[in-house]
Structure 1
Amino acid sequence: MAGVQTALELRQQGWRSPVTIIGAEPHAPYDRPPLSKAVLLGGSGDALLDATFDVDFAALGVDLRLGVRAEALHAAERRLATDGGPLDYDRLVLASGAYAASLPGTEGMPGVYPLRTLDDAAALRPVLEARRRVVVVGAGWIGAEFATAARQAGCEVTVVEAAERPLAGVLPASVTAPMRGWYEEAGVGLRTGTPVASLEPGAVLLADGTRLPADAVIVGIGARPATDWLAGSDVVLDAQGAVRADDRLRTTAPDVFAVGDCASFPSARYGTRMLIHHWDNAVQGPRTAAANLLGGDLRYDPVPYFWSEQFGRFVQYAGHHAAGDTLLERGDPADPSWSVLWLREGTLVAVLAVSRPRDMAQARKLIARSAVLDPAVAADPAVPLKAAVR
């Protein structure tokens, strides 16, 4: 998404010189959100068509080179080394994305699957079609989405999470507490507080000695920036291995920018460096990078946003909260729809909305303009959020 969107933005913003996109995958560029939904569940037609971008690259004058992997960057010579030969550039945009993290020692093990690419989704479709017994490692966003699809397909599903609760790394316990019930309601087993000890053919062994039968194991424990190929270059990486971009999305190498899952950037809005592995960042970042590549001076400081469809619910999150922010419940989490707000000295900084799209639409605008809310008014789910502005 980030690479294609950058090329489109360059053309829309007036760049008339040649544009080349290289990508290691052999497939035409595709969108990622359908991979854990429509592509997994199949139906009529080719899985690729469910996600492929409807873009005429030739008509745009974009040279799309598929199956070409970047291997090294020689910034002093303005040259990119690839497995298809060297490419010289005037300006370069890094959009190499991220790869799915794996359980140690399981790489290439039969019956163990990530869910990150189109090939991953295609490999998992027969598992769902055969209604196999599935163990999902990780109760994060992708684990919940896959569990939802697998149950919809009729699979027996157990989700295993090393932390004490789902989404422990991103949401507080009071917010995730009702989510445990979503698994039970969907008929999905949920084992928390017990890490995986090892895998063996047909089973997952947990640290407490439990042996879970498994025809397939899906690993959803996060993603890592795909930046190993930049080792030894002039592009500085941060502690998480992401390209360390500035607030204009420039890297430390001249005329080299970075967008999407592979790059972190400083946020003045939230006072921290951010690494965002979500679709919206891959759309917004290229607008800024393209403008600055063309000589502009735009700061990139978005309100982060993402969504997840799981267990019959549409879950959305916008902004960024910290442990010290004031949490404000808006509605009863036992109900089908509710929201949670985070306030920082009265200013709305983040929102989680469960099947409340109107709250999200209003909250994103309020966060963007640093609106101060009246907590008593904002806590009433019957009152529009915009009416709570002081």
Structure 2
Amino acid sequence: MSEQNLVVVGASLAGLRAAEAARKAGFTGSVTLVGAEEHLPYDRPPLSKAYLDPAPTPPDTTFRAREVFDDAGIDLHLGTVATRLDPGEKVIHTSHGSLPYDIAVIATGSSARMLPGTAAMSGVLTLRTLDDAVTVRTALDNRARTVVVGAGFIGSEVASGARKRGLDVTVVEALPVPLVRAIGTDMGRACADLHRRNGVDLRCGVGVEKVLGNGHVEAVQLSDGSTLEADLVVVGVGADPATEWLATSGITLDRGVVCDETMATSLPGVYAAGDVARWHNPLFDAFMRLEHWTSAAEQGALAVRNALDPQAAKPYSTVPYFWSDWYDTRIQFVGVPEADEIRTVTGHLDDGQFVALYRRGDRVVGALALDHQTHIMKYRALIAKSASWEQALDYARTRQHKDAALDAGR
């Protein structure tokens, strides 16, 4: 391949996979990987899961040793913030100088939302980075009085980490039912029951009025007039795509960097991947922006391959997949939650162990499993094949018969 400059902005999973895929594809030009954090690229999902477990030593989440990057000829620019993209000059400006590019992959991810007026208050933080995780873990080790704002997946995993230490924890959720947008009302109630069964004080339909403290958090005042004493407040109220640095670039932005089905942006030679990308998913004929490990990894690798050979570009078509660990329960979801019907096909909601299917029209479009890890990937395959609702129900019935036979033989 011709000697060109590839610049990947964002040194998390999508960016790492893009840089590595370029070398695997035989790209011999320069590869520069720009990361805002000082740390080597690391895995984020464990930060709110295994990293918060009360083990003596947290797991090492680093993806690769520095020598691996050196051996692959990947030039790391860590602690370097991208500030502007100039498509006319084909230059990416950063806090440490300018980088010319022939091909660029934008993988800057997303930024967690904070509560207004808390930026300068210690003890109030999101859980997005390794430094965040270190701070949260230390606070939990010190038996901090913990309040979690937002009963989504990150917040719920933090609550789980606190309860594993026997700590009291209150989870505050503004919506009447958690996770409505992600999995639907009835399934959200079932997940809420997991908190209550594990001793969490879950307060739904109430917001945060004010965070109180003199330099360090001391309490959280809620919209119902109650006040919660706190040494640690972890905010898990969503994230926004990190696109501010692209505002003057002319690139099309709409709730993320807009991409076609090949992950190409509106700028020649510029592709995007991971949390920051909002791309057209041909399987559902819809634009999506996913904050999922699997899609970030896949998009990063495909984006750079398409960038290197646009004439042979392939679309990125996927069934979204994510998982979360709460207490002793593995929650897995595949597909999309917008549905005409949600039906439990295995187990029972009250037991906290079940599989539910999501129907839109005559097609199965989603599946949620709590502690049924062996089921979920089959449903993902059915969704990928655009299987009908009846085909999914037939599989569910077959699976039930097999499971019953296994139970009878024990």
Structure 1 ranges of 4+ moved more than 6 A? none
Mapped pair 1:89 → 2:98: no
Distance 1:246 1:297 in 2: 11
Distance 2:180 2:44 in 1: 24
- The residue identity in structure 1 corresponding to 2:394 is V
Distance 2:133 2:206 in 1: 27
1:258 maps to: 272
2:62 maps to: 52
CA contact (8 A) 1:133 1:155 kept: yes
Q: CA deviation at 1:384?
A: 6.5
1:220 maps to: 236
- The residue identity in structure 2 corresponding to 1:221 is V
1:370 maps to: 386
CA contact (8 A) 2:164 2:327 kept: no
Equivalent residue in structure 2 for 1:66, among 78, 98, 102: 78
- The residue identity in structure 2 corresponding to 1:256 is V
- The residue identity in structure 2 corresponding to 1:88 is P
- The residue identity in structure 1 corresponding to 2:400 is A
Gaps of 5+ in 2: 1-12, 404-410
Equivalent residue in structure 2 for 1:329, among 320, 339, 344: 344
1:305 maps to: 321
Distance 2:83 2:389 in 1: 50
Distance 1:314 1:155 in 2: 21
For the residue of structure 1 that corresponds to 2:178, the secondary structure is coil
For the residue of structure 2 that corresponds to 1:76, the secondary structure is coil
Distance 2:341 2:181 in 1: 18
2:355 maps to: 339
CA contact (8 A) 1:328 1:379 kept: no
Deviations 1:148-173 (A, max 9, x none): 01111222100000000111222221
Provide closer, same or farther for how the CA distance between residues 71 and 384 of structure 1 changes in structure 2, counting only shifts above 3 A: farther
Q: CA deviation at 1:336?
A: 4.3
Q: CA RMSD in A?
A: 1.7
Distance 1:357 1:218 in 2: 29
Equivalent residue in structure 1 for 2:335, among 319, 322, 336: 319
- The residue identity in structure 2 corresponding to 1:276 is L
Distance 1:376 1:250 in 2: 37
Equivalent residue in structure 2 for 1:355, among 360, 371, 376: 371
Distance 2:151 2:56 in 1: 30
CA contact (8 A) 2:84 2:245 kept: yes
Deviations 1:7-52 (A, max 9, x none): 111112221211110101000110001101222236345x5x6100
Mapped pair 1:108 → 2:120: yes
- The residue identity in structure 1 corresponding to 2:129 is T
CA contact (8 A) 2:106 2:272 kept: yes
For the residue of structure 2 that corresponds to 1:363, the secondary structure is helix
2:400 maps to: 382
- The residue identity in structure 2 corresponding to 1:377 is D
2:4 maps to: none
Equivalent residue in structure 2 for 1:32, among 36, 44, 47: 44
Q: CA deviation at 1:137?
A: 0.2
Q: TM-score, normalised by structure 1?
A: 0.93
Distance 1:37 1:321 in 2: 24
For the residue of structure 1 that corresponds to 2:296, the secondary structure is helix
CA contact (8 A) 2:262 2:313 kept: yes
1:388 maps to: none
CA contact (8 A) 1:128 1:154 kept: no
Distance 2:396 2:341 in 1: 12
Distance 2:186 2:199 in 1: 22
Correspondences of 1:115-154 after superposition (within 5 Å): 115-154=127-166
Correspondences of 1:152-231 after superposition (within 5 Å): 152-201=164-213, 202-231=218-247
Distance 1:289 1:178 in 2: 37
Q: CA deviation at 1:370?
A: 1.1
Question: 267-276 vs 23-32, which deviates more?
Answer: 267-276
Q: CA deviation at 1:273?
A: 1.1
Distance 1:138 1:249 in 2: 31
Q: CA deviation at 1:318?
A: 0.7
For the residue of structure 2 that corresponds to 1:382, the secondary structure is helix
1:271 maps to: 285
Distance 2:86 2:69 in 1: 27
2:24 maps to: 12
Deviations 1:60-105 (A, max 9, x none): 1111111111000001111010111011011000000111111111
Distance 2:139 2:99 in 1: 40
For the residue of structure 2 that corresponds to 1:233, the secondary structure is coil
CA contact (8 A) 1:329 1:379 kept: no
Gaps of 5+ in 1: 386-390
Equivalent residue in structure 2 for 1:245, among 235, 259, 266: 259
Distance 2:179 2:126 in 1: 18
Deviations 1:231-282 (A, max 9, x none): 11121110x2x11111111111110000001110112222321010111111
Distance 1:220 1:121 in 2: 13
